[in-house]
Amino acid sequence: MSIKTVATTPFSDQKPGTSGLRKKVAIFRSPHYLENFVQAIFDTIAAPQGSTLVLGGDGRHYNREAIQVILKMAAAFGFGKVLVGQGGILSTPAASCVIRKYHTYGGIILSASHNPGGPDGDFGIKYNTGNGGPAPEKITEAIYARSKALANYRIFDAPDVALDQAGSFTLGGMVVEVIDPVTDYAELMESLFDFDAIRTLIRGGFRLCFDAMHAVTGPYGHEILERRLGAPAGTVINGVPLPDFGGGHPDPNLTYAHELVEIMYGADAPDFGAASDGDGDRNMILGRHFFVNPSDSLAVIAANARLAPGYAAGVAGVARSMPTSEAVDRVAAKLGIPCYETPTGWKFFGNLMDAGKVTLCGEESFGTGSSHVREKDGLWAVLFWLNILAKRGQSVEKIIHGHWAEYGRNVYSRHDYESLPGDAADGVMAHLKSQFTELPGKRFDAWQVKFCDDFSYTDPVDGSVSTGQGLRIGFVDGSRIVFRLSGTGTEGATLRIYLEAFEPDTAKHHLDAQLALAGLIAIAGDLSQLRARTGREQPTVIT
């Protein structure tokens, strides 16, 4: 066994997006492609010899093969130990938990999150720093710069490591410790929430259904919901992680989690339903015949945080991504705590949490989390809701309606146009920006434009500036329309339109969001010329 130095040439497309590098599996399988990016990571982070690294992924196609490559390259680089999830499995929030608990130098997470899997699907890789969170832009930009200058990479020439049984192995001078992927995370959850109260709720006949979507959270759901909290066997559906996610799209929304939606809107629906995504960092919450908008979910968690033991001392502050509704802003104002508005991308919350400025944070894209880790955390959100339900003794629908009665309702929706031709999507954005000088003051029926801008953010901790984060059109009454190109896809472009209006009148809180926002939806279509420029009549997904 020896270290090989392999000559290579750079690839031009290894610039990480908001959640690492994501490409089709076939691209990652190309000779030297994965190896180049991993070498660029190692060269950039310059970990001291003998450092410890965490490694794991969401179990999608190519996960196991990639882990073997990374282990051998880590041994060649000089890492002293790698903690790797058994079977190559480690959810994104669990990886953050392990990095933080064992004070490792950092970790590599293999995931394309909510993107489709399988041999023709997507794959992804990202580096998380020692705080457990995604590498900030200054590091990802440095990794990209290094990837464009590589002439070779180093890899240990050795047999593959057995991943299916916990234990320690050696790879040259490096220890590979295969760990149970669930235990550390489950123990953290038990320290944050009142498991006794949730057990009592379930024993009392409360029924729930958790759809793991054949993705990474299946083992976590079985251990925590069924074994530790006592929910009946079968509470977790689609609980076996599969490389192709069972042929489904592991995105927990009303379109792709259709099996759960049918259960929760059926004649004998459970009291509570939830789903998580490919790598376990997103969540969807449902009551009986009732959908909880992710923006409302964040606001409800913030308003009820003290009901959970881990948050009984209160919340230092909250943060939300710019496209997320302002519902949590209203809670923060009443609690007298700061609320920060950041670009999309969990890494922007990391600085705020490390500085002690925020405890809770969330994104409208079904991501919610707190300072317990440095990633959004799907199962954490599910457990927080169960904790609230156990303490308040009300249904999901009553809790939401009560919240709206107290704070008003931020009526909100997101329209996704997926797999658009890149030039058409860019044309929509350019056309919108071209109108910015003439739009302020213009009236569209009852709506008068107050401002237009391309959102930028100055980090209050380190002073870094992020520009080009989404086009905002704000109206005098507080309504908004936001247009943004997503950075998480691998094929074509995804244009997202976010629509929000505030409704204080409780008599109108029951209205369907699409009906209540119909006027803003029409304005968005007229201003963007989306139908003419893309040929699309309807969004791919509405949430």
Q: Where are the beta strands (DSSP E) in 185-232?
A: 208-211
The rounded distance, in Å, linking the Cα atoms of 297 and 293 is 6
Q: Provide the phi-psi class of 441: left if phi over 0, else alpha when psi is between -120 and 50, else beta.
A: left
Which residues face 483 on adjacent strands?
471, 497
CA-nearest of 443, 343, 353 to 19 is 343
Q: Provide the phi-psi class of 435: left if phi over 0, else alpha when psi is between -120 and 50, else beta.
A: alpha
The rounded distance, in Å, linking the Cα atoms of 154 and 147 is 14
Q: What is the DSSP letter of 374?
A: S
What letter represents residue 322's amino acid?
Answer: M
Concatenating the DSSP letter of every residue in 404-460 gives HHHH-EEEEEEEEEEEE-HHHHHHHHHHHHHTTTT-TT-EETTEEEEEEEE--EE-T
Q: For residue 319, what is the enclosing H or E element? A: strand 318-321
Tell me how crowded residue 500 is: count the other CB atoms within 10 A of its CB: 26
- Return the active site residues: 113
The rounded distance, in Å, linking the Cα atoms of 133 and 127 is 9
The rounded distance, in Å, linking the Cα atoms of 378 and 358 is 19
